[in-house]
C-alpha cells in the first residue's frame, strides 16, 4: 500500500492568531514494503507529517493518498477507521496510552475496536506479547505494574495486534537503554523483513537510520529538504550538520580518516562497510594477509 | 481542545494589560454584581458599550471573546428558552399548554442573553489580559487578611498557580492520548451516548495516571530544591497599585452611578 503526498500543506489552528504553518509543499511517496526513516531536528514537522499517514490530521491543502483512499481538506471525519486499521501508529511515549486492567485486555483493545471478536483479540494478545519480547505471564498483570520499557513494549504490541500493513513509529526508543533500543528496532526490522510490513520510523539516531532504512526523508522547517537512500543522504556531512542533524558515527569517523589521506568512494555508514573500505588501504594488507 | 479560550493569556501591552491584577480580579467580580442592577434596555446598552470599550482598549481580537462564549452557548440558549417560554405578561404572541411566548418573555430572554454574554466577555477580558500567575498572586494578596482565620492562603495560591500552570499541559496531553486512541480505532464523539461514554474511559484513565505521576514528580522536584512557601518567601514580581488602577475603579463607580440613575 503506497502512501503519496501531493502538494500537501498543513496549518495548525488555521484562521486564528495562533495559526502556524507546520508543513508546506510536501510531495512524497512512502513505498509499499519500504523501510522509511524520517529525520529532522525538533519542530521540523516530522510528527505532523506522520499524522497525515493515518488521517489523524487532514491536509489544509493538497491530497494524501493512502492506498485507495484519497484524503483532501474536505474529507469527512467519518469512515476513517479502515485507514487506522491498515496504518498502525505508535506515538512518542506510547506507554501513556495504556489504560486497561490487564496487559491482555489492553493489547486486545485495538483489534476489538476494529471488529475482531474478543477470543481472537485475546489470542492475538498472546502472540503479540511474545513478539515484543515479553513472557506470557505478563498478560494477566496490570500494565501499570510494569517497568517503563515493558510498558512501551505492551503499547507497541497493542498496535501490532491490529495487524496493520503500515507501521509508523514516532521515536519508539526515546528514553530506553541501549539494549531495549536494539531489541525494539530489531523486532521492527524482523517484522519488516518477514511479514513485509511497510515501516515509517521517526528517529534522531542516525546509526539506526543507517542500519535499517531503505529510504530517508529529511525534514526542515516543514518542508522535505532531501530524500534518498541513507547512503546518498549521509554523503553530505557538512549539509546535514548545517541543518542540525547528525551523521552516523562511522561516517564521521570516515570523514576524519579522509582528512588523513584515506580514500572513500562513498562514506561508509556501518562498521562493516568501513572495515571493507579500509582494508585494502591499510599497509597491513600489503604484507599479504592470507587469513581472509 | 484549542477552542477552549477561557484561561488563555494573550500577551499585550494595553492599558488593560497593565492594570493591577488584584484590581482587575475584584472589578470583574464587581461587574457580575452590578450587571444585576440593569433592568432596562438603556442600562444594558450602557453596560454593552462599557464592555465593548474595555474590550477594544485591550487590543485583543474580538474573535477571542466570541469564541469564549461558544462553549457555554447551549447553557445560555437553554436558559434563554426557559425564560421565553415560561414568562407571562404583556402582549401574548403564542401559547400551548403551559408554554407561552409573551412580550415580557422575549424581553427578559434578551436581557438574560445580554447578561451572560457581558459576564463572559468581562471574565474573558480578565483572563486574556492577565497572566495566570499574576492572577494567583492577586488571589493570594486578596485572601491575605483571612490568614487571621487560619486560612492557608499560601497553599491555596500555590495550588491555584500549579493548577493553572498545568492546564495547557493537560490539554496537550489530552490531544495526544486522544490521537493515540484514535489510532487504535476509538471514535470519539460518534455513536450512541453509551458508546460515547465508553470512548472516554481510554482517555480519562491515562490522563489520571499521568497527572498523578506528574504531581509526584513535581513534589519531588520542589522538595529537592528545598521549596518552602509561606512566611519569609519573597516575590519576584511585586504587585503595586498605581494611579491607573484607581482610574479603573473610578470608571466602575461612574458606571454604577449611571446604572442606579437609569433604574
Beta strand segments in chain B, E? 92-96, 99-102
Q: Do B184 and A18 touch (CB under 8 A)?
A: no
- Same domain? For B57 and B89 the reply is yes
Residue A292: predicted pLDDT: 46
Residue B118: predicted pLDDT: 94
* Distance to chain B for A86, nearest Cα, Å: 10
* Distance to chain A for B137, nearest Cα, Å: 27
Quote ipTM for the complex: 0.86
Q: How far is CA B79 from the centre of its chain?
A: 18
A135 assigned to some structural domain: yes
- Same domain? For B181 and B251 the reply is no
A11 assigned to some structural domain: no
Are the C-beta atoms of residues A245 and A39 closer than 8 Å to each other?
Answer: yes
A2 assigned to some structural domain: no
- Residue A47 contacts B where some CB pair is shorter than 8 Å: no
- Same domain? For A260 and A138 the reply is no
Selecting from B61, B177, B185 the residue whose C-beta is nearest the C-beta of A97 gives B177
What's the CA gap between A65 and B256, in Å, rounded? 62
| Cross-strand partners of A4 | A29, A65
Q: Do A91 and B202 touch (CB under 8 A)?
A: no
H-only helix segments in chain A: 46-50, 81-86, 103-113, 118-131, 148-160, 178-194, 206-212, 230-233, 237-242, 249-259, 271-278, 283-286
Going by pLDDT thresholds of 50, 70 and 90, the confidence category of residue B196 is: confident
* Distance to chain A for B202, nearest Cα, Å: 6
Evaluate if residue A155 carries a pLDDT over 70.
Answer: yes
Q: Give contacts of B208 with chain A, Cβ < 8 Å.
A: none
Are the C-beta atoms of residues A39 and A219 closer than 8 Å to each other?
Answer: yes
Residue B162: predicted pLDDT: 87
Residue range B50-59: mean pLDDT, rounded: 93
Residues A240-292 have pLDDT tens digits of: 888 888 888 888 888 889 888 888 888 888 888 888 888 888 876 555 555 54
A181 assigned to some structural domain: yes
Residues 6+ apart with CB under 8 A from B20: B138, B239, B240, B241, B242, B245
Write the CA distances from A4 to A8, A70, A126, A232, B165, integer angstroms. Answer: 10, 9, 34, 22, 40
The vertex-A235 CA angle with A232 and A241, nearest 5°, equals 120
- Same domain? For B145 and B214 the reply is yes
3-state helix, strand, coil in chain B (%, to 5): 75, 5, 25
Evaluate if residue B79 carries a pLDDT over 70.
Answer: yes
CA dihedral in degrees (B211, B212, B214, B218; nearest 10)? 130
* Distance to chain A for B116, nearest Cα, Å: 24
Selecting from B180, B185, B190 the residue whose C-beta is nearest the C-beta of A114 gives B185
| Cα-trace Rg, chain B | 23
Going by pLDDT thresholds of 50, 70 and 90, the confidence category of residue B231 is: confident
Query: Among A90-104, A202-216, A252-266, B246-260, which stretch is predicted with the lowest mean pLDDT?
Result: A252-266
A182 assigned to some structural domain: yes
Residue range A17-24: mean pLDDT, rounded: 83
- Same domain? For A90 and A156 the reply is yes
What's the CA gap between B238 and B23, in Å, rounded? 14
A272 assigned to some structural domain: yes
What's the CA gap between B111 and B130, in Å, rounded? 28
Residue range B13-17: mean pLDDT, rounded: 92
- Same domain? For A198 and A255 the reply is no
* Distance to chain B for A289, nearest Cα, Å: 56
Please provide the average confidence, as pLDDT, over all residues in chain B.
88
Q: How far is CA B255 from the centre of its chain?
A: 22
Residue B71: predicted pLDDT: 84
Q: How far is CA A276 from the centre of its chain?
A: 28
Of residues A286 and A176, the one with the higher pLDDT is A176
Please provide the average confidence, as pLDDT, over all residues in chain A.
90
Are the C-beta atoms of residues A155 and A186 closer than 8 Å to each other?
Answer: no
What's the CA gap between A83 and A67, in Å, rounded? 9
- Same domain? For A131 and A206 the reply is yes
What's the CA gap between A191 and A215, in Å, rounded? 17
- Same domain? For B124 and B211 the reply is no
Among left, alpha and beta (phi > 0; psi -120 to 50; other), residue A7 is left
- Same domain? For A169 and A275 the reply is no
Crossing angle of helices B243-262 and B41-58, in 10° steps, is 160
- Same domain? For A188 and A261 the reply is no
Residues B116-154 have pLDDT tens digits of: 999 999 999 998 899 888 888 898 899 989 888 988 888
Residue range A212-240: mean pLDDT, rounded: 91
Residue B7: predicted pLDDT: 56
What's the CA gap between B101 and B99, in Å, rounded? 7
The alpha carbon dihedral of B243, B246, B252, B256 has a sign of negative
| Cross-strand partners of A223 | A220
- Same domain? For B174 and B44 the reply is no
Residue range A190-210: mean pLDDT, rounded: 92
What's the CA gap between A166 and A35, in Å, rounded? 10
Residue range B10-34: mean pLDDT, rounded: 92
Residues B89-111 have pLDDT tens digits of: 777 888 787 788 888 888 889 99
- Same domain? For A116 and A204 the reply is yes
Residue B34: predicted pLDDT: 93
Evaluate if residue A147 carries a pLDDT over 70.
Answer: yes
Percent of chain B with pLDDT over 70: 97
A15 assigned to some structural domain: no
Residue A285: predicted pLDDT: 52
Evaluate if residue A206 carries a pLDDT over 80.
Answer: yes
Q: Do A16 and B190 touch (CB under 8 A)?
A: no
Crossing angle of helices B103-129 and B21-34, in 10° steps, is 180
What SS3 state is found at B3?
A: coil
- Residue A76 contacts B where some CB pair is shorter than 8 Å: no
Q: Give contacts of A96 with chain B, Cβ < 8 Å.
A: 173, 176-177, 180, 206, 210
Q: How far is CA A23 from the centre of its chain?
A: 19
Write the CA distances from B218 to B7, B134, B139, B223, integer angstroms. Answer: 22, 21, 22, 9
- Same domain? For A213 and A254 the reply is no
The vertex-B4 CA angle with B71 and B212, nearest 5°, equals 120
Evaluate if residue B189 carries a pLDDT over 80.
Answer: no
Going by pLDDT thresholds of 50, 70 and 90, the confidence category of residue B113 is: very high
- Same domain? For A128 and A184 the reply is yes
Beta-carbon contacts below 8 Å between A and B:
60
- Same domain? For B107 and B2 the reply is yes
Q: Give contacts of B209 with chain A, Cβ < 8 Å.
A: 99, 144
A202 assigned to some structural domain: yes
Q: Could you tell me the CATH number of the domain that includes residue A216?
A: 3.40.50.300
Query: Among A170-174, A276-280, B92-96, B176-180, which stretch is predicted with the lowest mean pLDDT?
Result: B92-96
Q: Do A78 and B183 touch (CB under 8 A)?
A: no
Crossing angle of helices A103-113 and A148-160, in 10° steps, is 30
- Same domain? For A109 and A225 the reply is yes
Q: Give contacts of A94 with chain B, Cβ < 8 Å.
A: 180
Residues 6+ apart with CB under 8 A from B51: B118, B121, B122, B125
What SS3 state is found at B175?
A: helix
Helical (H) or strand (E) element with B183: helix B153-183
The alpha carbon dihedral of A257, A261, A262, A266 has a sign of positive
Domain that holds residue A43: 31-54+77-231
Q: Do B173 and A96 touch (CB under 8 A)?
A: yes
Residue A286: predicted pLDDT: 52
Residue range A65-93: mean pLDDT, rounded: 90
What's the CA gap between B54 and B60, in Å, rounded? 10
- Residue A239 contacts B where some CB pair is shorter than 8 Å: no
- Same domain? For A162 and A96 the reply is yes
| DSSP tally for chain A: helices H, then strands E | 12, 10
- Total domains in chain A come to 2
What SS3 state is found at A88?
A: strand
Residue B3: predicted pLDDT: 43
- Same domain? For B154 and B174 the reply is yes
Domain that holds residue B255: 1-130+240-263
- Same domain? For B155 and B207 the reply is yes
| Cross-strand partners of A70 | A65
- Same domain? For A265 and A168 the reply is no
- Total domains in chain B come to 2
Selecting from A97, A158, A162 the residue whose C-beta is nearest the C-beta of B206 gives A97
- Same domain? For B195 and B217 the reply is yes
Q: Residue length, chain A?
A: 292
Amino acid at each position: 500500500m503506497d502512501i503519496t503526498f501531493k502538494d500537501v500543506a498543513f496549518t495548525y489552528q488555521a484562521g486564528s492568531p495562533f495559526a502556524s504553518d507546520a508543513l508546506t509543499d510536501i510531495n512524497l511517496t512512502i513505498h509499499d514494503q519500504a523501510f522509511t526513516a524520517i529525520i529532522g531536528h525538533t519542530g521540523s514537522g516530522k510528527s505532523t507529517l506522520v499524522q497525515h499517514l493515518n488521517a489523524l490530521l487532514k491536509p489544509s491543502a493538497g491530497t494524501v493518498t493512502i492506498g485507495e483512499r484519497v484524503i483532501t481538506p474536505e474529507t469527512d471525519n467519518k469512515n476513517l477507521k479502515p485507514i487506522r486499521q491498515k496504518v498502525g501508529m505508535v506515538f512518542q511515549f506510547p506507554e501513556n496510552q495504556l489504560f486497561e486492567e490487564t496487559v491482555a485486555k489492553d493489547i486486545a483493545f485495538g483489534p476489538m475496536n476494529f471488529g475482531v471478536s474478543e477470543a481472537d483479540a485475546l489470542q492475538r494478545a498472546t502472540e503479540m506479547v511474545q513478539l515484543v519480547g515479553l513472557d506470557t505471564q505478563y498478560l494477566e498483570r496490570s500494565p501499570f505494574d510494569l517497568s517503563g520499557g515493558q510498558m512501551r513494549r505492551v503499547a507497541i504490541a497493542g498496535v501490532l495486534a491490529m495487524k496493520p500493513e503500515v507501521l509508523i513509529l514516532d521515536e519508539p526508543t526515546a528514553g530506553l537503554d541501549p539494549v531495549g533500543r536494539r531489541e525494539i528496532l530489531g523486532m521492527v526490522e524482523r517484522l519488516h523483513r518477514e511479514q513485509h510490513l511497510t515501516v515509517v520510523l521517526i528517529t534522531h539516531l542516525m546509526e539506526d537510520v543507517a542500519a535499517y532504512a531503505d529510504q530517508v526523508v529529511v525534514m526542515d522547517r516543514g518542508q522535505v529538504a532531501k530524500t534518498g537512500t541513507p547512503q546518498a543522504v549521509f554523503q553530505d556531512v557538512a549539509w546535514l550538520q548545517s541543518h542540525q542533524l547528525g551523521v552516523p558515527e562511522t561516517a564521521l569517523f570516515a570523514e576524519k580518516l579522509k582528512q588523513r589521506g584515506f580514500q572513500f568512494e562513498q562514506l561508509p555508514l556501518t562498521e562493516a562497510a568501513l572495515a571493507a573500505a579500509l582494508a585494502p588501504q591499510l599497509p597491513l594488507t600489503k604484507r599479504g594477509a592470507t587469513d581472509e | 481542545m484549542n477552542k477552549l479560550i477561557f484561561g488563555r493569556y494573550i500577551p499585550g501591552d494595553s492599558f488593560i494589560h497593565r492594570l493591577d491584577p488584584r484590581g482587575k480580579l475584584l472589578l470583574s467580580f464587581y461587574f457580575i454584581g452590578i450587571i444585576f442592577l440593569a433592568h432596562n434596555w438603556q442600562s444594558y446598552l450602557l453596560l454593552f458599550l462599557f464592555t465593548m470599550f474595555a474590550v477594544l482598549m485591550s487590543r485583543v481580537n474580538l474573535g477571542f471573546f466570541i469564541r469564549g462564549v461558544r462553549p457555554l452557548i447551549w447553557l445560555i440558549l437553554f436558559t434563554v428558552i426557559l425564560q421565553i417560554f415560561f414568562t407571562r405578561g404583556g402582549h401574548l404572541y403564542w401559547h400551548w399548554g403551559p408554554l407561552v411566548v409573551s412580550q415580557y418573555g422575549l424581553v427578559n430572554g434578551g436581557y438574560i442573553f445580554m447578561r451572560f454574554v457581558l459576564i463572559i466577555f468581562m471574565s474573558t477580558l480578565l483572563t486574556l489580559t492577565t497572566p495566570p500567575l499574576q492572577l494567583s498572586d492577586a488571589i493570594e494578596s486578596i485572601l491575605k487578611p483571612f490568614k487571621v482565620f487560619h486560612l492557608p492562603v499560601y497553599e491555596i495560591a500555590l495550588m491555584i498557580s500549579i493548577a493553572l500552570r498545568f492546564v495547557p499541559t493537560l490539554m496537550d496531553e489530552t490531544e495526544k492520548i486522544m490521537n493515540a486512541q484514535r489510532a487504535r480505532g476509538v471514535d470519539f464523539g460518534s455513536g450512541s451516548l453509551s458508546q460515547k461514554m465508553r470512548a472516554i474511559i481510554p482517555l480519562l484513565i491515562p490522563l489520571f495516571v499521568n497527572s498523578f505521576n506528574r504531581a509526584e514528580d513535581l513534589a519531588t522536584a520542589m522538595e529537592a530544591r528545598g521549596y518552602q512557601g509561606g512566611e519569609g518567601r519573597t516575590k519576584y514580581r511585586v504587585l503595586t497599585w498605581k494611579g491607573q488602577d484607581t482610574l479603573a475603579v473610578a470608571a466602575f463607580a461612574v458606571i454604577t452611578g449611571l446604572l442606579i440613575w437609569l433604574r
